[in-house]
């Protein structure tokens, strides 16, 4: 069985000669997949049982244990998890849910799935691109029922101020922890949290997600709703030799299969090491960028708890972002943007017109996401910073 070193180069390995862009393109995100995952998938196929079963249960227990929770519920995506949480909390028409605009659109979409209304909140600042307590307070109304907190880029939202904010107003806290697998404290701030295992996340099952919830009754309601609201699943009925079931709630087809759970178990076993590699790469990025690209701003103060899901930077206001993207692309370096503000997307501009969020819009206009993943090494970071420096002076 291969070692972690074989799967993901150590961040501080000696730098090899620089490859040409054609030889090695640097992607923003790249999953670590290898022989262990292949063996795990083969084992599932050979078993003859590929739908939700023992591996899903084992993955749920292992994930819950890593995140300090009693149990977890594996689902088909983080989006599915958020939808199930909102449904189980009985949020619906007439209710308002505070959400950041600096997030993937699924955060807001899930509020609409249950018939509630998303209310977009600004970020605290371009240096702290997490949801603003002050703007949230200003936008609370008697209809506000819940807040969805997003651990953007893998950085932990400050727990205590948000708990106090929610307690004072009788609101429910929900975590969109799509960027936060393995982050200490994530999944414990509020009623429930949803994590993502999409292909660009810190660990992956290709598609998939996980829900954690403190209240066992809430957790079991989510567990039942993920499988059409059936009182028993196929695997349970096989083992109990009882073919009957009942449906006691409206449910969905949001299950995870055995193949994805098998991938998840392997990936989870390496998550701490991969997150540590991300931390080392981020530290090097920060050091080199401050020395070589002082005009580039770095959001988040160093030391904030994080699993360093992405490497966001802010280009100088005078820089033409697309020209920088093109220049790095010509050198075999992919970059991207996290995110187009949700309130500025066409759908939400039509259905939620007139929303203005100055800090979010300022951040999004200058943000650029650099490559960051455990297959990178020290040389790769230097290559990116050199290319960025040269692009900015071109």
Q: Which residues are catalytic?
A: 201
Q: Residue 306 corresponds to which tokens in the numbers above?
A: 């994080």
Dist CA 193 CA 63 (whole Å)? 13
| Residue whose pair of structure tokens reads 């697998």 in the numeric block | 181
Token digits for 322? 């697309």
Residue identified by tokens 């100055």 is 358
Asked if 307 and 154 count as a contact pair (C-beta separation under 8 A), the reply is yes
Q: Residue 181: name the closest of 264, 86, 292 by CA.
A: 264
Q: Is the peptide bond before 303 cis (omega within 30 degrees of 0)?
A: no
């Amino acid at each position: 069985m291969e070692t972690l070193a074989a799967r993901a180069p150590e961040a501080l390995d000696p730098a090899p000669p620089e490859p040409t862009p054609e030889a090695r393109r640097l992607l923003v995100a790249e999953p670590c997949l290898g022989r262990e995952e292949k063996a795990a998938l083969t084992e599932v196929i050979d078993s003859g049982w590929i739908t939700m079963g023992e591996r899903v249960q084992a993955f749920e227990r292992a994930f819950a244990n890593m995140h300090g929770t009693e149990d977890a519920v594996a689902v088909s995506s983080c989006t599915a998890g958020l939808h199930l949480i909102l449904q189980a909390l009985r949020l619906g028409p007439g209710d308002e849910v505070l959400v950041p605009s600096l997030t993937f659109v699924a955060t807001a979409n899930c509020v609409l799935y249950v018939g509630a209304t998303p209310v977009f909140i600004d970020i605290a600042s371009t240096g702290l691109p997490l949801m603003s307590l002050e703007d949230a307070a200003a936008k609370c109304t008697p209809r506000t029922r819940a807040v969805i907190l997003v651990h953007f880029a893998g950085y932990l939202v400050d727990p205590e101020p948000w708990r106090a904010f929610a307690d004072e107003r009788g609101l429910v806290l929900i975590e969109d922890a799509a960027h936060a697998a393995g982050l200490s404290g994530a999944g414990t701030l509020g009623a429930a949290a949803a994590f993502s295992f999409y292909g660009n996340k810190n660990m992956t099952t290709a598609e998939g997600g996980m829900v954690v919830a403190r209240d066992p009754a809430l957790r079991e309601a989510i567990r039942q709703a993920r499988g059409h609201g059936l009182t028993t699943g196929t695997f349970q009925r096989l083992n109990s030799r009882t073919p009957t079931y009942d449906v006691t709630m409206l449910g969905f087809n949001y299950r995870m299969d055995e193949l994805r759970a098998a991938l998840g178990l392997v990936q989870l076993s390496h998550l701490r090491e991969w997150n540590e590699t991300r931390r080392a790469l981020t530290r090097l990025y920060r050091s080199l960028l401050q020395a070589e690209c002082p005009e580039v701003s770095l959001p988040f103060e160093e030391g904030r708890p994080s699993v360093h899901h992405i490497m966001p930077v802010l280009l100088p206001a005078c820089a033409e972002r697309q020209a920088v993207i093109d220049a790095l692309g010509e050198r075999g370096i992919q970059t991207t943007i996290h995110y187009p503000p949700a309130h500025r997307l066409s759908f939400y501009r039509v259905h939620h017109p007139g929303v203005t969020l100055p800090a979010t819009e300022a951040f999004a206009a200058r943000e650029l996401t650099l490559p960051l993943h455990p297959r990178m090494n020290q040389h790769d970071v230097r290559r990116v910073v050199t290319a960025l420096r040269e692009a900015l002076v071109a």
